[in-house]
């Protein structure tokens, strides 16, 4: 097996990369600038050494605690709970949220043998008191497991007098009503927002 | 900029990889087996050092001359002329061809300032005599530039008494007549093959 075949095989294991895309990328790298290939190789090799989990929120970071947890300009009274570190990046990209985060590391899923004790819930409870948290936004995915996990957390947080909320469900911006599924339409109707001519 | 952002940026320059796929791949690598990342990094770094062009046919290879040029079981009387090294891999995958190859390194394209002198045509002419070639299959792409290049080579090869042929044009196997373009349909009619009940 040549290095070209071996690299193609390795690339085709990446998510979203099939056999044909892998071949295309391998030939692209053959003709690419050596400095680019060197940089890509170095960053792939270094990635796992440089990135760790923040000991406070569980997000991926190069420094512990992470930049969000140590940012003095962020609202420390609000925590947004997400399933995965990727979700933090997506929420940050919206530039709408200025509070802190907490990464659960998964969702409650009996079928996969994941219970509340497998998620970083005890560190969340620890933070509530320590940081004087007033509101927890439950930003788990709108799936059966995400909803179950949110419900579990709501019950636990209510007992501790913390306000909870969940991300709104409805039509995606730029979406088409014609192609929206029945459940999304139902939720968008139930959560409809009043309009005023002033806005 | 963190290494995660930098790697995402580098990955998004690869063909067929957009911003979202790059993010997905970067997070996949964060959770991947370290041995896999190490292998991927090493192969990307080594690729350009290990792969060169075959001095005979111009194909990518780890040894010069390449495995195809030195294979004693191949038919040395037939040469298949292609535009790019990638095309050799595609033709080989069909397992239909047992002759040799010649990579032009492009096509005649006046608009891009590419003339016959920019392609490896003189080495092809050298091989005709040396290797006792009887047939040259012109496997340039069925585009204006590919056709022009094939026509140029046919004229040159005929003068030297070498038989030439071109890949058949027609419907792709598994394709749908309904979605075939006008020109492909016309070529598939012109090149129709007689049927017999014996086959």
The chain B residue lying nearest A52, using CA atoms, is B30
Residue A29 pLDDT: 96
Return the residue matching tokens 């007689």: B194
Maximum distance among all Cα pairs of chain B, rounded to whole angstroms: 69
DSSP string computed for A21-75: HHHHHHHHHHHS-HHHHHHHHHHHHHHHHH-EE-TTT--EESSSS-TTTT-TTSE
Q: What is the 3-state secondary structure (H, E, C) of A63-127?
A: CCCCCCCCCCCCEEEEEEEECCHHHHHHHHHCCCCCEEEEECCCCCEHHHCECHHHCCHHHHHHH
Terminal-to-terminal C-alpha distance of chain A:
65
Q: What is the DSSP letter of A141?
A: -
Choose the weakest-confidence range: A37-51, A131-145, A153-167, B169-183.
B169-183
Indicate whether B2 pLDDT > 70: yes
Q: Which of A3, A62, A86 faces B51 most closely, judged by CB atoms?
A: A3
Chain A interface with B: residues with Cβ < 8 Å: 2-4, 6-7, 10-11, 13-17, 21, 23-30, 34, 36-48, 50-51, 60-62, 85-86, 89
Please list, residue by residue across B155-193, b when 16 or more beta carbons sit within 10 angstroms of its beta carbon and e when fewer do.
ebbeeeebebeeeeebeeeeeeeeebeeebeebbeeeee
Indicate whether B199 pLDDT > 60: no
Instruction: Establish how many alpha carbons lie within 13 A of residue A18's alpha carbon, considering only the half-sphere containing its beta carbon.
Output: 2
**Do A76 and A100 contact (CB within 8 A), yes or no?**
yes
The predicted complex's ipTM stands at 0.80
> pLDDT tens digit string along A48-96?
999 999 999 999 999 999 999 999 999 999 999 999 999 999 999 889 9
Q: What is the DSSP letter of B76?
A: E
Q: What average pLDDT does this structure show over A9-38? A: 95
Residue A199 pLDDT: 54
> pLDDT tens digit string along B66-102?
999 999 999 999 999 999 999 999 999 889 999 999 9
CB contact under 8 A, A40 and B10: yes
Contact list, A35 vs chain B (CB under 8 Å): none
The chain A residue lying nearest B66, using CA atoms, is A2
CB contact under 8 A, A85 and B27: yes
Residue B198 pLDDT: 67
For residue A185, give both structure tokens. Answer: 């339409």
Q: How far is A118 from chain B, CA to nearest CA, in Å?
A: 18
Instruction: Establish how many alpha carbons lie within 13 A of residue A165's alpha carbon, considering only the half-sphere containing its beta carbon.
Output: 9
Indicate whether B32 pLDDT > 90: yes
Q: What average pLDDT does this structure show over A164-177? A: 87
Domain assignments of chain B as residue spans, ordered by start: 74-191
Q: What is the torsional sign of CA B11, B12, B17, B19? A: positive
| Average pLDDT of every residue of chain B | 92
The chain A residue lying nearest B16, using CA atoms, is A21
Residue A47 pLDDT: 96
Q: The CATH number of B74-191 is which of 3.40.1360.10, 3.40.50.150, 3.10.450.240, 3.40.50.300?
A: 3.40.1360.10
Indicate whether A196 pLDDT > 80: no
Q: What percent of chain B has pLDDT over 90?
A: 76
Residue A198 pLDDT: 67
Please list, residue by residue across B41-63, b when 16 or more beta carbons sit within 10 angstroms of its beta carbon and e when fewer do.
bbbbbebbeebebbebbbbbbee
| Average pLDDT of every residue of chain A | 92
Indicate whether B59 pLDDT > 70: yes
Q: How far is B65 from chain A, CA to nearest CA, in Å?
A: 14
Q: What average pLDDT does this structure show over A89-108? A: 93
Of the pLDDT bands very low, low, confident and very high (cuts 50, 70, 90), residue A179 is: confident
Residue A120 pLDDT: 95
Q: How far is A187 from chain B, CA to nearest CA, in Å?
A: 27
């Amino acid at each position: 097996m040549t290095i070209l075949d071996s690299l193609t095989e390795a690339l085709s294991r990446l998510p979203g990369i099939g056999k044909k895309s892998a071949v295309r990328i391998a030939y692209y790298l053959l003709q690419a600038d050596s400095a680019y290939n060197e940089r890509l190789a170095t960053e792939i090799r270094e990635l796992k050494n440089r990135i760790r989990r923040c000991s406070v929120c569980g997000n991926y970071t190069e420094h512990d605690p992470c930049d969000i947890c140590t940012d003095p300009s962020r609202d420390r009274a609000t925590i947004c709970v997400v399933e995965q570190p990727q979700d933090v990046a997506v929420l940050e990209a919206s530039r709408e949220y200025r509070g802190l985060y907490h990464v659960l590391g998964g969702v409650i899923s009996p079928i996969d043998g994941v219970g509340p004790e497998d998620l970083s819930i005890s560190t969340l409870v620890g933070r509530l008191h320590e940081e004087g948290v007033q509101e927890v936004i439950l930003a788990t995915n709108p799936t059966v497991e995400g909803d179950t996990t949110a419900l579990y957390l709501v019950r636990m947080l209510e007992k501790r007098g913390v306000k909870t909320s969940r991300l709104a469900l409805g039509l995606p911006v730029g979406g088409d009503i014609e192609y929206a599924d029945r459940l999304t339409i139902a939720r968008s109707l139930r959560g409809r927002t009043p309009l005023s001519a002033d806005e």
